[in-house]
Amino acid sequence: MAIAVGTELLAVAKDGNNQKKNETITSNIDAAIVDASTSILKFSPLGDDSAKVTGYKEENPTSIDIPSKVKIDGKVYNVKIIGEDAFARCRSLKSISIPESVTSIGDDAFYGCDELPPHLLVYDNGTKCYGWVGDKSKCIEVTIPKSVTSIRRSAFSKCSSLTSVYIPEGVTSIGDWAFGGCGSLTDITIPESVTSIGGLVFYGCDALPPHLLVYNKGTKCYGWVGDKSKCIEVTIPKGVTSIGDWAFYECGSLTNITIPKGVTNIGDWAFEGCKNLDVVIDNKKQNVIIGYGAFNDCKSVKFLK
C-alpha cells in the first residue's frame, strides 16, 4: 500500500471491490532534510522559504518519499508544492509518501500513475481534495471527508465507473472539469456551502437527471446538467445574477431561454454551440458583462438597449 504521510486514503480498492477505509499513516519522513543534489527528485526553489517538486531524475522509480525539507545550494526550504505533471505517466510508481508540509498539488500530478493503490487523495490537513489516484476503474462510490473545503480541477475527470459522490456541507469550491467525463454518475448532491463551481464540471455526465443547476443561494447559474438533448426551453430564476462559463455549451436542442434583468455577468462560451437559440439580452442599463465567445454559433443574439 502507498504510504501517504499527512494525507487520507479513502475508498481503497485492493481486490476490485469498492471499500471505504479511513487511514492516515505517519512517518519520520518529516524529520529528514534531503539534499537536492543527491535526491531522485527534482526541486525548484520559490521566492520565499518554500520549494516545489517538479519531477524525478531516476528512470522508472517504484517508490518515492517526498521530504518535508530540502537543501538546495546550501539553503533549506520547506517542500510545500507538488507541481503540475510532476509524476504524470510514471507507470512504474507503486508507492509515494507525501509530507504534511505540502499545501498545493498541481493538475495531473499523478495522472497515469495506475500502479498506485487506487484511493481518494486528501491533503493539507484534510482541507483539499486532489481527487482520485490510481486505477480509475476502481473509482465507483466516493465519500468526500467532512474536513474538505475544496475539490480541485479535474479531480475525478474520466472516472467512467463512478456512480455516486457524497459532497459534505463545508465544501465551498469545485474546480473546472472536476467530474467531466463521468458518464456513469447518477447521484451527486451539491451542498449549500458551495459558492464556486468551475466550468464543464459535469460535462459528459449524461446519466445525471437533466436539470438546470442554480446555487449559492440562487444567485449563480452553473448551467445545464445531464442529457443536453433534454435542454429545450429554460427559464433562469429571477434571483440569478451570473451565468457561468460553458453553462449551456453545445445545447443544440435549446430553442428558448428567459434571462432575467438581474443577470449582469454571462461567462465565457456560455451559449457556444446553441445553434437553434435566439437570445435576447436586456442591457438597457449597459451593465451586462459578456464573456469571450459567449454566443458563438447561436442562431441570433439581440441586445435590448
pLDDT (tens digit per residue) in 173-221: 999 999 999 999 999 999 999 999 999 999 999 999 999 999 999 999 9
| 29 touches 99 (CB < 8 A) | yes
Identical topology for domains 1-123 and 140-208: yes
pLDDT (tens digit per residue) in 117-132: 999 999 999 999 999 9
Q: What CATH number was assigned to the domain covering residues 1-123? A: 3.80.10
pLDDT (tens digit per residue) in 52-93: 999 999 999 999 999 999 999 999 999 999 999 999 999 999
Instruction: Determine how many CB atoms are found less than 10 A away from the CB of residue 175.
Output: 20
Q: What CATH number was assigned to the domain covering residues 140-208? A: 3.80.10.10
Query: Residue 31 has what pLDDT?
Result: 52
Instruction: Evaluate if residue 223 carries a pLDDT over 70.
Output: yes
Domain ranges of the chain: 1-123, 140-208, 212-305
Instruction: Classify residue 121 by burial, with Cβ atoms within 10 Å: 0-12, 13-18, 19+.
Output: buried
| Residue reference for cell 524529520 | 31
| 157 touches 185 (CB < 8 A) | no
Q: Mention every residue, 6+ apart, whose C-beta is less than 8 A from residue 247.
A: 221, 222, 223, 224, 267, 270, 271
The pTM assigned to this predicted structure is: 0.88
pLDDT (tens digit per residue) in 1-56: 233 434 444 443 333 444 443 333 334 444 579 999 999 999 999 988 999 999 99
